[in-house]
Amino acid sequence: MTDAKAPIAQDFLTIPRKLDVGEKVNLVGLTRPALQEALVAAGTPEKQARMRTNQLWQWVYHWGVRDFALMTNLAKDYRAMLADKFEITLPEIVSRQVSQDGTRKYLVRIAGGHEVETVYIPEEGRGTLCISSQVGCTLTCSFCHTGTQKLVRNLTPSEIVGQIMLARDDLGEWPEQGAPKDETRLLSNIVLMGMGEPLYNFENVRDAMKIAMDGEGIALGRRRITLSTSGVVPEIARTADEIGCLLAVSFHATTDEVRDKLVPINKRWNIEALLDALREYPKATNSERITFEYVMLDGVNDSDDDARRLVKLLDGIPAKVNLIPFNEWPGAPYERSSNNRIRAFATILMQAGYASPIRTPRGEDIMAACGQLKSATERARKSRAQIAAEAGLDHS
Ligand code: SAH
Ligand code: SF4
């Protein structure tokens, strides 16, 4: 086993791009230090840069303002300079579908004409936004629709944080000046469970989450953000150090033999290696339990023996298990376990002391449920050889 995959996967996707002459810098997605640097480069005196950064930050991320002319605590000529050199732009919503259960699925167009999906899930007293981190995915989990889509590229921090901002636009959730602070937020939680493997786009995801967590802007606390990974072991400790959000892991099997088939990254970092990395995570982040996601596939991973093995594997890890009834997609090679089977599996986990909620599929009628995301424009199915080469599996 080598750690070679992680850096390779990130490097080949990095698209260094110089701005063309006259092209404006998008402020959305710049971290505070990067924003400050950009303002200085645009001629802001060093002494003022920090204050200007704060002011702009609040306009963009707290008030949701997109027009420099409205930033009334900045001098007029400074606003003109900003409008000349910078822009505040979000990816474009191409379409919005609303499910019978209120789930909203946005098809979002990003630079280069690529598309990703973002899903808003309203719940009692809260609302969760499921955001994408890549166009497609390099990994090829056999039950996942996104896994059949060719990876096109990593999203930039701007495109990741932009998904949160455009959902707030659509929900009408930017605060109004002078209005009392509304504590019940429509968009109160984020899950990085859309398209892509967030830990193969680590820096961009980290920077976007830092922006989302910043108390003077979108201000979603780190415990309101859950990052889901298929098990990119070397990046787990870094996630604890540099992001500190909650962690979910796509576990899905209790033997290496089955996990190799369902979540092929297991061939690189197997169950034991993954559990070792996870054991450290709650301590390192002083956070709650890790969520173990477990998709229920009829006759594949759903037996009582699986449930008992899972209990053994979880020993010593503060964990809860999220059982996900398999969501079907055209051509999927699996079927959903029966409700009785799922309940029997859950009972074994609960008797062993693990909370094990069964995830209610949301937005199925608009193909917005877990694992159903895939953009219509990127339907090319990879060849097996390509999948193996990209995932580096031929060397493991
Ligand atoms: N790439 C990351 C995050 C996105 S997937 C990861 O794999 O963790 C979000 C969750 O949905 C994962 O647990 C994934 O395994 C699960 N999932 C994928 N396809 C699914 C399907 N068809 N039905 C149910 N869950 C699925
Ligand atoms: Fe990628 Fe996650 Fe789907 Fe696996 S489950 S193919 S890691 S998006």
- 62-112 pLDDT, tens digit per residue, is 999 999 999 999 999 999 999 999 999 999 999 999 999 999 999 999 999
3-state DSSP call for residue 119?
A: strand
Dihedral of alpha carbons 263, 265, 267, 273, sign: negative
Burial class (CB in 10 A: 0-12, 13-18, 19+), 207: buried
Q: Which pLDDT band, with edges at 50, 70 and 90, does 182 fall under?
A: low
Which of these, 263, 257, 273, lies nearest to 295 by C-alpha position?
263
- The pLDDT assigned to 135 comes to 92
- 329-368 pLDDT, tens digit per residue, is 888 899 999 999 999 999 999 999 999 999 887 887 787 7
Report the separation in Å between the CA atom of 229 and the middle of ligand 2, taken as the mean of its atom positions: 8
Q: Which residues, 6+ apart, have CB-to-CB distance to 343 below 8 Å?
A: 358
Pairwise CA distance, residues 55 & 60, whole Å: 9
Which of these ranges, 53-67, 73-87, 116-130, 137-151, has the smallest mean pLDDT? Answer: 137-151
- The pLDDT assigned to 379 comes to 41
Question: What are the structural domains of the chain?
Answer: 25-87 (1.10.150.530), 92-390 (3.20.20.70)
| CB of residue 134 inside a 6 A radius of ligand 2 | no
pTM: 0.90
- CA 305, 310, 311 angle in degrees (round to 5)? 100
Q: How many CA atoms lie within 13 A of 66 on its CB side?
A: 8
Residue 43, pLDDT above cutoff 70: yes
Q: Which ligand is nearest to the CA of 146?
A: 2
Report the separation in Å between the CA atom of 179 and the middle of ligand 2, taken as the mean of its atom positions: 42
Q: Which residues, 6+ apart, have CB-to-CB distance to 22 below 8 Å?
A: none
DSSP 58: I
| CB of residue 147 inside a 6 A radius of ligand 2 | yes
Q: What length is written for the chain?
A: 396
Q: Checking DSSP bridges between strand 290-296 and strand 246-250, what pairing results, if any?
A: parallel
Label each residue of 65-82 as H, E or C: CCCHHHCCCCCHHHHHHH
- 250-303 pLDDT, tens digit per residue, is 999 999 999 999 999 999 999 999 999 999 887 767 667 999 999 999 999 999
| CB of residue 262 inside a 6 A radius of ligand 2 | no
Label each residue of 337-348 as H, E or C: CCHHHHHHHHHH
> Which atom of ligand 2 is found nearest the CA of 145?
3
Six token digits for residue 365: 């009628």
Q: Which ligand is nearest to the CA of 119?
A: 1
Residues 249/292, Cβ–Cβ less than 8 Å? yes
CB burial readout 375-389, b (16+ within 10 A) else e: beebeeebeeeebbe
Mean pLDDT of 223-233: 97
Pairwise CA distance, residues 160 & 31, whole Å: 13
Pairwise CA distance, residues 299 & 341, whole Å: 10
Which of these, 116, 132, 368, lies nearest to 228 by C-alpha position?
132
For helices 157-171 and 202-213, what crossing angle results, to 10°? 40
